[in-house]
Structure 1
């Protein structure tokens, strides 16, 4: 268990230029992280990716609502911005035992912080972790989330890595993974 505290999460947010969260929301987020993530380094990677995708837990839904993309109504929702019908189907099957729950109500993913984190941790454990372990190369996490749009060395991929470095420093999560 990563053992991330509310105070640490808020210090990570502030180190990355985001506002601290209230205790209730921060407790929900840290509880989901601690229940799903094994090491502090993996937690630093997960938190950095959540910061990037949600703008510091500010958004639980893609601001453009998928405009101009081929995936609406299954556009980015949750703190990790789950997209595509097949991801909604798989997350729904895992979380609810029924693949139709999120397919029939995709807004459910962004309705509450709890479901946003449940979907985000599911995506991390199911999609990201198998591609990124042993967590020595940060880009593997970015590639699993948004690789087609953010190739190694791109400005957005570097932004994600810089967030990770700041989070890892606060969490004392060393050694740092290389960028790519």
Structure 2
């Protein structure tokens, strides 16, 4: 289970940071860990929130190995790892330790109604009838959707 979880984490972070293209040598997914931040973000990824307010002029697009995005993820991730990521979101792209801490936080933390990736991969998550009907079954696939 431990090796499977490490493999799943590395697969997910490689997928999130891929620089591949459809005709890339060895395929589009052979080019993981290319981008530390989202390329051409479509917005500032700021959602109005009294709990996790966006800082003036800051953008919360995908950064780091898990490509954490949105203020409602930067805020609690920062609180959990002891860094003010709402005011300093670029730290996820510029500080390797913070970058991987946020990825591990995201991997380990459930975000209702979603279970944590950790719980899915280690078999601690049991899908509800609604999950099963929607095709959300135990295993790696549910962590990528």
Range of TM-score over shorter length: 0.5 to 0.7
More helix by share: 1
Higher relative contact order (CA 8 A, sep 6+): 1
Separation (CA, whole Å) in 2 of partners of 1:75 and 1:132: 26
Aligned-pair CA distance for 1:131: 4.6
- Map residues 13-162 of structure 1 onto 2, 5 A cutoff: 39-55=2-18, 56-64=32-40, 66-67=41-42, 69=43, 71=45, 73-96=59-82, 101-127=84-110, 128-134=117-123, 136-142=138-144, 147=145
Larger radius of gyration between Structure 1 and Structure 2:
2
2:23 equivalent in structure 1: none
CA RMSD of aligned residues (A): 2.0
Tell me by how many angstroms 1:139 deviates.
1.1
Return the alpha-carbon distance in structure 1 between the equivalents of residues 4 and 121 of structure 2: 12
Gaps of 5+ in 1: 1-37, 148-180
Query: Per-residue deviation at 1:113?
Result: 2.0
